A = this chain, B = another copy of it.
Amino acid sequence: MSTLTFEDRYPCILETASSVGKKEGEGNLGQYFDNIYQDAYLGEKSWEKAESRLVKNTLQTLLDKTKLKPSDIDVVFGGDLLNQCIGSNYGLLDFNIPFFGLYGACSTFVEGLILASITVNGGHAKKAVAITSSHFCSSERQFRFPLEYGGQRTPTAQWTVTGSGAALVSTGGDIRITHATVGKIVDYGIKDVNNMGAAMAPAAIDTIVRHFKDRNLSSDYFDLVVTGDLGMVGRQIVEEQLFGYGIDVKDRYLDCGEQIFDGKRQDTHAGGSGCGCCASVFSGWLYKLLQNKKYKRILLTATGALMNPTTCFQGENIPGIAHAVAIERTDA
């Protein structure tokens, strides 16, 4: 499968919504998010329920901003990092909208955008939503250590973003999803669960190189090449390796995980991560840069690490996957 091209019935992103936690609100992009929650529990009794509440509130915000009812949405594509994707399942329950559950680790937001685009492009849905979430506290409990343990973090470790982002995909807008490159599972033998950036970088490189090659693009085609949550370590690998493939995007490449926090001030080490990182940074910030025409063409590449604690204990490698969409203003 080469890079997909969407013609005729162009899928567009008509609106986005974003929600984040206190730390993200105090980060570099705090002014751009729709909802900032000071309480990590969002008024719920567990962190898992808090994450579901984050999903619920983000979709509700998207409906409010677009003056739509749940029944106006044909289908939702959603997922998160929690076991059996319970963040999305419980968060979306009350809306009663047809639902496709996805798991692509932190690549899920763009996976959802691609599948929403295919579905809208094919005329099977008029309005589709892609939504993902992550929560620092529920992720730490599930993937690493109980917060109460107070474990030390390595310099390459990333900080899971408490956040959620949602995008409404339909036809008839100016901000179009013109192309998509579907990720392959890529394994370069990384085993360090505290170095996700290095584990996911090869997948990002594979997908971005395929996107440029399939479309025969020059390095300066996009105003911005974005990766989801490689953080500082993975970002550097990708930048250097792309240059080796003849794609020189040093002056126009950024990573959502590196952008969301002020690493020095906020002690977030290699940067942000999680399904909610790319989703909230795109939905909160990057989409506005497309709206106000600061940028006209963005390649959004979300990256995921495909492991769980059991496989890490069993000594398995951590493969990665990356999905990419070209989002372009066509009124430029």
A118: interface (CB < 8 Å) = yes
Contact indicator per residue, chain A 284-311, by CB within 8 Å of chain B (1) or not (0): 0000000000000000000000111111
The answer to whether A98 touches B308 (Cβ under 8 A) is no
A316 to B183: give the CA distance in the assembly, Å: 34
Give chain A interface residues in 65-89, CB to chain B under 8 Å.
Answer: 74-75, 79, 81-86, 89
The answer to whether B182 touches A100 (Cβ under 8 A) is yes
The answer to whether B75 touches A182 (Cβ under 8 A) is yes
Q: Pick the contact of A185 from B92, B103, B309 — CB < 8 Å?
A: B92
A199: interface (CB < 8 Å) = no
The answer to whether B321 touches A101 (Cβ under 8 A) is yes
Known A74-B1, A84-B307: A118·B122 in contact at CB below 8 Å: yes
Chain A interface residue count, CB cutoff 8 Å, equals 54
Query: Which residues of chain B are near A100, meaning CB under 8 Å?
Result: 102, 104, 111, 114-115, 182
Query: Which residues of chain B are near A83, meaning CB under 8 Å?
Result: 83-84, 308-310
Query: Which residues of chain B are near A92, meaning CB under 8 Å?
Result: 185
A121: interface (CB < 8 Å) = yes
Contact indicator per residue, chain A 163-184, by CB within 8 Å of chain B (1) or not (0): 0000000000000000000111
A101 to B203: give the CA distance in the assembly, Å: 15
Q: Pick the contact of A104 from B101, B119, B185, B309 — CB < 8 Å?
A: B101
Q: Pick the contact of A183 from B82, B93, B98 — CB < 8 Å?
A: B98
A314: interface (CB < 8 Å) = yes
Query: Which residues of chain B are near A101, meaning CB under 8 Å?
Result: 102-105, 111, 306, 321
Given A48-B310, A99-B321; 7 other pairs, CB 8 A cutoff: A4-B124, A84-B103, A84-B306, A86-B311, A100-B111, A101-B105, A118-B122
List of 4 A-B pairs having minimum Cβ-Cβ separation, nearest first: A122-B122, A98-B182, A1-B74, A89-B306
